[in-house]
Amino acid sequence: MRILLLGAPGAGKGTVAELLVGRFGIRQISTGDMLRSAVTAGAGLGVSAEGYMKRGELVPDALILGIMEKRLQEEDCKKGFILDGFPRTIGQAESLKKMLDKLGMKINAIVNLEVPEDVILRRLTSRRTCSNPKCQAIFNIFTKPSRKEGICDKCGSPTVQRDDETEEAIKQRLKTYEEKTAPLIEYYKHDPAFVTAPSFKPEPAVDAILARVGR
């Protein structure tokens, strides 16, 4: 089972991926984690990637795909994988397709996780983070409130709303995502593996995906 997971920040990709990992016994591959492990392994393409990351630059697509090509052939990806957060552009999507074709790997489901903007806003603006840099515990005023409002359970420091989690900041992030990803959705829309999972709860989204892949 090979799945591409697309969705805005706060759409719940992590939770859906976790359910699919459990359901199919497949591996979740996020670009960030993959690059970090390649760098830690300290060999081959990982060394080149490290240079870019140390300079705070974007790792070029060709390098990401090279690392990914190796990663997807490892033992733990035999049953399949979920690619999370990649591709983000049409260029990446085209290169990914070429690479997978070369490996003889077919994508079973391209999932567009569609969550209404107000749900995402509510989800992300309700987060509170401990202001103590050594703690950084995360709370949620609706789903996981701290015992004492505004105070971290773990260390007693004040909890704050991060600058990038205010309503204004999140609206901006969603707008950027929309602009970047809309063409990608357009690109995949006619692929027989494409499925839109319209849901603000993870389970129905997973059901839509299962229905798509016939399980």
Cα–Cα nearest to 150, from 135, 130, 167, 132: 130
156-185 footprint of Zn ion as x/- string (CB under 5 A): -x----------------------------
The correct pick among 63, 120, 130, 170 for binding Zn ion (CB under 5 A) is: 130
Q: What number of other Cβ atoms are within 10 A of residue 49's Cβ?
A: 21
- What is the rounded CA–CA span in Å between residue 149 and residue 139? 10
Q: Is 144 in the site for Zn ion (CB under 5 A)?
A: no
The correct pick among 132, 146, 161, 196 for binding Zn ion (CB under 5 A) is: 132
Residues 6+ apart with CB under 8 A from 205: 12, 16, 111, 113, 197, 198, 199
The correct pick among 111, 113, 152, 209 for binding Zn ion (CB under 5 A) is: 152
Nearer to Zn ion, 121 or 135 (CB): 135
Which H or E element spans position 106? none
Catalytic residue flag (residue 71)? no
Nearer to Zn ion, 30 or 132 (CB): 132
Catalytic residue flag (residue 215)? no
Nearer to Zn ion, 78 or 154 (CB): 154
- For the bound state, the minimum distance from the C-beta of residue 165 to Zn ion, rounded and expressed in Å, comes to 17
- What is the rounded CA–CA span in Å between residue 105 and residue 103? 5
